[in-house]
Amino acid sequence: MSLEFTQHTLPTVPVEAESLSMASLAGLSAVAAAKLTIVHGNRAAEVGDFFHVAGAPDGEVHISGDLSRVKQVGAGMGAGRLVVHGRAGMHLGTRMTGGEIVVEGDAGDWVGSDMLGGRIIVRGNAGHLVGSAVRGERMGMQGGEILVFGSAGNEVGGGMRRGLVAIGGDTGDFTGVNMFAGTVAVLGRMGARPGAGMKRGTILAMHPAEMLPTFSYACTYRPVFVRLYLAHLRALGFPIADAHMAGPYRRWCGDAIELNRGEVLVLDTNSGTPP
């Protein structure tokens, strides 16, 4: 039996719901959970003002409703499983270190900001800045996995330090911008300027992309680690085709403005032909 939250009232203004997280809900009864403080605009409110709460705490939390105005769901969670049956708001899973968050619908901007570990799954679309650095900060996510089955916006994996981001659909501009390390895999089409400023790290793209003039073509090959990553994604439910597994991949090195140790691997549909 899990703890079940069913939305009965839509917030009129944004709600900050750090307490809708395993960390705060651990061991709480439904009654106690309903009394947790959340912030509605500039006023304190209770979870119960927006959700009916039922069930018992057993390590799983299920939230149903339109949470597109509810921010920071899953903040700081370290263990357990949280499922949003509906849309989620901004800053989903911010600062999480472990456990799993699943959103059946779309998620807002800043999915997994400041993330250290754990897994976030968004079945719908995500917004901008998935796993990306907050303004002024140099680094984005430092660990964990963010898996978006739909599309995502700009700056996916910006300043990423470690971890895996996989986007089933398209991404916006500046995918993997200023990456330090880690992997961003995009099954759909990337927008403009992927990998700008990247220092290390890997961007894995299944469609041709326009590379910045500071990237240079290196070779076409079939790296083993790509098969391992794709097999992992396939097991998680991403539509990985055999052609994706087979490759080969054209390897672009960059960003020459930085260390030139980053790579963008683009699925080569004319197998084996050099540029």
Partner 1 sequence: MSDNIRTVTDATCTFCGCVCDDIVLTVDLDTHSITKSQNACVLGKAWFKEHSIEERPRALIEGREASTEEAVEAAAHILADARFPVVYGLSDTTCEAQRVAVSIADMIGGTIDTTTSVCHGPTGMAFQAGGESTASLGEIRNRADLVIFWGGNPAEAHPRLFARYAVTPKGMYVPNGRKDRTVVLVDVRRTPSTPVADIFLQVKPGSDFEVLWALRALVKGRKVDPSVEQRTGVTLAVLEDLAARMKACRFGVMFFGMGLTMTRGRHFNAGALLALATDLNEFTHFVAAPVRGHGNVTGADNVVSWQTGYPFGVNLSLGYPRFNPGEFTTVDLLVRGEADAALIIASDPASNFPKAAIEHLRRIPVISLDPKSTLTGALSRVAFTTSTYGINVAGTAYRMDNVPLPLRPAFDSPYPSDQEILTAIRARVSELLGGNRLPVGPVGPSPARSAS
Partner 2 sequence: MGSLLRIVNGRVYDPANGIDGEVRDVCVRDGRIVADVPPEARRIDVHGMVVMPGGIDVHCHIAGTKVNLARKVQPEDHRHDVHPRTRITRSGTGGSVPSTFATGYRYAALGYTTAMEAAVTPLGARSTLEELNDTPVLDKGFFVLVGNNVLLFRLLQEGRFEEFRHALAWWLSVTRAYAPKLVNPGADEAWKGHRNANITDLDAKIDPFNLTPRQVIAAFIDAANTLGLPHPVHIHCNNLGHSGNYETTLETMRIAEGRRAHITHIQFHSYGSVAGKSRDNPTSKASEIAEFVNTHPNITADVGAVMFGRSTSMTADAPLAYMLRQFGGHKWINADTEMESGCGIVPFTYQDRVYTNALQWAIGLELFLRSEDPWRMVFSTDHPNGGTFMTYPALIRLLMDREYRKQQMAHVNQLALDHSGLRDCMDREYSLYEIAIITRAGPARLLGLADKGHLGVGADADITIYEENADKEAMFSAPRYLIKDGELVIEDHEFRAEHEGRILHVAPGYDSAIEQVIEPFFEDYYSIRFANYPVHESYLHHHQLVPTVPGTPGAAAT
DSSP string covering 205-263: ESS--PPPTT-EEEEEE--HHHHHHHHHHHHTT----HHHHH--EEEEEE-TTTTS-EE
Residue 43: how many CB atoms within 10 A of its CB? 7
**Residue 216 site contact among partner 2, partner 1, none (CB < 5 to 8 Å, cut-off depends on kind):** partner 1
213 binding partner 2? (CB under 8 A): no
Measured from the CB atom, the residue of 54 and 134 that comes closer to partner 2 is: 134
Q: Which of 13, 27, 242, 274 binds partner 1 (CB under 8 A)?
A: 13
H or E stretch at 22: helix 22-25
The Cα 132–Cα 113 span in angstroms is 6
Q: Is the dihedral of CA 66, 68, 71, 72 positive or negative?
A: positive
Q: Which of 67, 196, 203, 267 binds partner 1 (CB under 8 A)?
A: 196
275 binding partner 1? (CB under 8 A): no
In angstroms, give the least distance from the CB of 258 to partner 2.
11
77 binding partner 1? (CB under 8 A): no
261 binding partner 2? (CB under 8 A): no
Q: Looking only at residues 103 through 142 of this chain, which bind partner 2 when binding is defined by CB under 8 A?
A: 134-138
Measured from the CB atom, the residue of 5 and 174 that comes closer to partner 1 is: 174
Give the x-and-dash track for 199-238 against partner 1 (CB under 8 A).
Answer: -----------xxxxxxx----------------------
In angstroms, give the least distance from the CB of 137 to partner 2.
4
H or E stretch at 12: none
Give the number of residues written for the chain.
275
58 binding partner 2? (CB under 8 A): no
Pair 152, 171: CB distance under 8 Å: yes
Q: Looking only at residues 94 through 113 of this chain, which bind partner 1 when binding is defined by CB under 8 A?
A: 95, 109-110
Measured from the CB atom, the residue of 30 and 134 that comes closer to partner 2 is: 134
**Pairing mode of beta strands 37-40, 43-46:** antiparallel
In angstroms, give the least distance from the CB of 16 to partner 1.
6
Pair 146, 118: CB distance under 8 Å: no
Residue 205: how many CB atoms within 10 A of its CB? 25
Residue 85: helix, strand or coil by DSSP?
A: strand
Segment 238-243 long-range contacts (CB within 8 Å, at least 24 positions apart): 238/147, 238/149, 238/166, 238/168, 238/187, 239/168, 239/187, 240/187, 243/267
Measured from the CB atom, the residue of 22 and 116 that comes closer to partner 1 is: 116
In angstroms, give the least distance from the CB of 8 to partner 1.
19
Q: Looking only at residues 139 through 178 of this chain, which bind partner 1 when binding is defined by CB under 8 A?
A: 139, 142, 161-162, 173-174, 177
Task: Report the interface residues with partner 1, using CB under 8 A.
Answer: 12-14, 16, 18, 37-44, 69, 75-76, 90, 95, 109-110, 114, 116, 128-129, 134-136, 139, 142, 161-162, 173-174, 177, 192-193, 196, 210-216, 256-257, 260
Task: Report the interface residues with partner 2, using CB under 8 A.
Answer: 134-138
